[in-house]
Chain A
Amino acid sequence: MPTPLTRTLVVNGEDRTVTVADDGEQLLYVLRNQLDQRGPRFGCGVAQCGACTVLVDGEIRRSCVTPLRTVPEGASVATLDGLDANGAHPLQRAFIEQQAAQCAFCVNGIIMGAAGWLEQRNESGETAAPSDEEIAAFLSGEVGESTFNYLCRCGAHVRMIRAIRQAAEELLS
């Protein structure tokens, strides 16, 4: 029988308590169906596309393969819905300026992944904005220990890379 679980998470800065009947329920469904988050999206359920990406305590996580029981009590969860109070995070503005999407279903993952990655680079003392090649490598799961790949099917890749570079430059300036 499944084990019920109650957790309090800090979702986009706000305390939210959720109860699930099965502590194996993936974070994605908790966020979408109990906490009204639209950013994290179901794409594959097997951590191969990135559409469900969120940040858990600053770490890039694929919420489709993150059972709630593995998310610590009191953990902070950041989603695209709350990335910026006014929806004007440099990444969001850059994506609009560069018109870096078509259907945009994948955009949640690309922006949240990039937000987490740029923050990590910042914390590690990196002072230069990443090159287009580095951004492409990150989004292809070829940077550091991360093997997370991000997929886009519409073909807005070139624009997304440009938007991330623009946002990175702004964040560093």
Chain B
Amino acid sequence: MTTNELTRRGFLTGVGSLAVAFTLGPAVLDQQAAQAVAAGRRPGVRIDETPADDSLAWLVLTPAGVTIHSGKVELGTGVQTALTQIVVEELHLPTGRVGYVQGDTQVTPDQGTTAGSKTIQNGGPELRRAAATAFQALLDLAAEWFGVSRDRLVASDGVISVAGTRRRVTYEQLLANADLVLVADRDAPLASPDDYRIVGQSEPRVELPDKVTARFRYVHDVRVPGMLHGRVIRPAGRNARFQAIDPGSLDRARAIPGFVTVVQRDNFVGVVADTEWAAIQAANPSTGIEVTWEDGQPLVAQESLPEALRDPANHYRTVEVVGVGDVDEALPAASIQVEASYFTPFQMHAAMGPSCAVADVRSQPDRETGVRATVWSSTQNVYNLRDSVASLLGLPSGSVRVIYEEGAGCYGHNGADDVAGDAALLSEAAGRPVRVQWSRQDEHGWEPLGPAMAHDLRGGVTNGEVVAWEHITSTPTHVSRPNANPGTLIAGALTGTLPSPLPNSSGNTGTRNGPVNYTFPNRRVIGKLVRSFETTGETSGTPAAPLRYRFMRSTALRSLGGFSNSFANESFLDELAAASGADPLELRLRSLDDPRAIAVVEALSEVWAARPSGGDGAGAGIAFQRYEAEFAYVAAYAEVTVDADSGAIRVPRVVVAHDCGLIINPDGLRNQIEGNVIQGIGRTLKEEVHFDARGVTSVVWEQNQFNPTPQYPVLRFSEVPDIEITLIDRPHEPAWGSGEPAIGCVPGAIGNAVFAATGVRIRTLPMTPARVLDALA
């Protein structure tokens, strides 16, 4: 690329008007940079998504600094740091403070949902190309500056010099005289991995200092002028309908100092008050508003879930995901034949901070921007949420602006979008900005859940080789993210909109990691798609009527079906190994032909060889999976002890071998793997959503006097194992995400370890003491 190919736009180049960005905190810098860019007032180089006039920028370089505009957002996993490393590497800049504007429908390109371990994998290359394009432009500018050809230039740490001379120019000098708007060039030359200085280093998390000093602004900390506080009052059941607000309770609520209003639209009820405490009191049935609800259709009972998921009457579609060879012929011919069934219950994201959002819905659009509604949300996709909020309010998408603010954790499609819908409705009704903070009970009780899964496996072994393999997965949808249908938000569903039709496939959702990477000659994977609600026909996924749920609303929870599918696959492979007298690690190695897969399993050979002998209450197990069957390779080893008296399982040690290609930030990667292991142990041993005919009954972390039935706990500090990690770096391979690959190996490795320890196979999660005692009896 040469200078005359650059598109130019008439930017003003008044150097003296620059804001001093690097001396301010990141939030201030980001806002200023964003505003300045929007106004087109700065000299510098801007890399856009497309040549269109309204194109959003990926990257803005001014004499004051570099600002990344990322559609992929920081969910707490460290991607802001990793993406910044990728950008500064290509720009030949030192590490340091780089502005990072993320997830803003007015400012950042639409990079889709931040999910599926795809930020580094897909978002990284997009920003990398933008940065490489900018770097080429800087070389062009420098060539012009010096009057030499580009091939004589050398760049390092923000300075370009002419090789063999003392002539040098800083990026700041070049940018002060530049007025370039370029489109990210797919073919821009990239830095060689052999020359990486910053990619591959354990750079510390850029936002962590603010987080440990309480300077960081979470979505829960957003305050806007004139803001009121809202709380929602949810129906008494998933299918319940509004009957009445008790008039006496309404008077009582009105007497609460600071009470503003109650909003009731169809089945949506919320309160708004001047203060958060007043809103809490008004929403509390013992101090504020009492709502009566009419029961609707009962949910399928929790204890009958395994049968109900397998009941053909609940299936609207059956999908063959894998069909290799002829299982029907091979299985009966196998010398050893095994069948087993597995089950995982509904589980939840269970973020530490209940969902929160602020919405400012105006009666008139802003004169300059045309925006009528602004929403601050920890959504994974500002664009999709914009569309759903717009249709919820009956506004065009362009008049809604959604701005990302980090929330507590994420782990998939949690309540972040729903609470934004709540805030939008309450703000619209109150005519003021409203912040809605869900209670813990709102979160546990109403966040969209990871659905229950039932697995039926059959396999055959002849001469020590697995010759036939069948896996049938039955599960409700794993994807019900927001879209332009307001029924994808609770607020929309409660105000009468139908949910979106159920998907036609379970491809990379319910049957994610259903397919194995083993070379078994005959294998079949089938997905039975379970209808979450009454549909318009036996084979239809289209909702028949509002509030006719059979199973609770379900969606993407970390690794989707992969967690439970891998639990079933890796447990069952162990069952085949046991039935045929094979060593579990040897059988896996024999059944793999991909050198990278073999490498992660072999990385566990030593620890496997030295494992506890088993049979005496202590044992070890292993599991392998390739994430989505085509990305990161993970093998895990877990040691357990099983207390025969209490039934309690402890996991004292976990070893993980992990290959996700090029490693951007080794310590950040380790942090993700540790998180996968710990969350995976919780989901394996403890986590189960409890519910009755109306809805969720596990609404806090632990049983207490108000919630005497089983609740929804997560792993405690005293239950966390030693975690050892072997990272296999592949600098010349693409970088894949690591947010969820490792979690899929955890339940299988633990179940296999329990089998080694006790000779008993636990096929139902979570492996609670009661289930262990039952199995041992």
Contacts and interface: CB of A to CB of B under 8 A. Distances in A.
Interface of A: 1-2, 4, 20-22, 25-26, 29, 32-33, 37-39, 41-46, 48-49, 51, 79-81, 83-84, 87, 92, 95-96, 99, 101-108, 111, 135-137, 139-140, 142, 149-161
Contact of B212 (A4, A95, A151, A161): A95
B76 A154 contact: yes
Interface of B: 75-78, 204-205, 208-209, 211-218, 220-221, 255-258, 275-278, 280-281, 350-354, 406-411, 437, 439-440, 667-668, 671-672, 674-679, 700-702, 704, 706, 714-720, 722-723
A38 B353 contact: no
Which applies to chain A's interface (DSSP): helix, strand, loop or mixed? loop
B212 A157 contact: no
Contact of A80 (B76, B78, B214, B700): B214
A12 B644 CA distance: 50
Nearest to B435: A33
A22 B214 contact: no
A163 to B, nearest CB: 9
Nearest to A135: B717
Given A29-B280, A101-B208, 13 more contacts: A21-B277, A29-B275, A43-B440, A44-B700, A48-B702, A48-B704, A51-B353, A79-B214, A103-B75, A104-B76, A137-B717, A153-B679, A155-B674
Nearest to B351: A153
Given A104-B216, A158-B674, A21 B208 contact: no
A156 B675 contact: yes
A149 B716 contact: yes
Contacts of A87: 209, 212-213, 215
B717 A161 contact: yes
A54 to B, nearest CB: 11
B714 A151 contact: yes
List the 10 closest pairs (A to B, CB-CB), nearest first. Answer: A103-B76, A155-B675, A155-B678, A87-B213, A105-B408, A39-B214, A21-B257, A104-B211, A139-B717, A140-B718
A169 to B, nearest CB: 18
A49 B352 contact: yes
Contacts of A107: 211-212
* A29, A87, A106, A155, most chain B CB atoms within 10 A: A155
Contacts, number: 191
* A39, A42, A83, A160, most chain B CB atoms within 10 A: A42
B214 A157 contact: no
Given A105-B408, A151-B701, A81 B214 contact: yes
B211 A150 contact: no
Contacts of B255: 1
B437 A49 contact: no
Contacts of A32: 276
B277 A102 contact: no
A38 B216 contact: yes
Contact of B352 (A25, A83, A142, A152): A152
5 contacts: A33-B276, A42-B353, A102-B672, A103-B406, A140-B718
B212 A92 contact: yes
B408 A22 contact: no
A80 B354 contact: no
A32 B668 CA distance: 31
Contact of B353 (A1, A43, A102): A43
Contacts of A83: 213
B276 A159 contact: no
A154 B716 CA distance: 12
A151 B257 contact: no
B204 A156 contact: no
A18 to B, nearest CB: 12
